[in-house]
Amino acid sequence: MRRGDVVTVAASGDYGKPRPAVVVQSDSFPATHASVVICQMTSSLADAPDFRVTVEPSKENGLQRMSQIMA
């Protein structure tokens, strides 16, 4: 995984529902480390530009609808 990749995660406590997330961890972090730093995404859009970044769906990111990265 590389910084900026959109991945699907199912976090415990999040009802086990798979959700998109974006990798924010530096590419220089050892690939052998057991965890990856991500920010989850949602398709429930909110007018909160200080806390959310809107991402348009594209073939490259694999999103099916407009989403927001939640900080």
Q: Are 70 and 54 in contact (CB under 8 A)?
A: no
**64 — pLDDT class (breaks 50, 70, 90):** very high
Q: What are the tens digits of pLDDT across the range 12-55?
A: 775 668 889 999 999 888 878 888 899 999 999 999 999 999 99
pLDDT value of residue 15:
66
Structure pTM? 0.79
Domain boundaries, the chain: 1-71
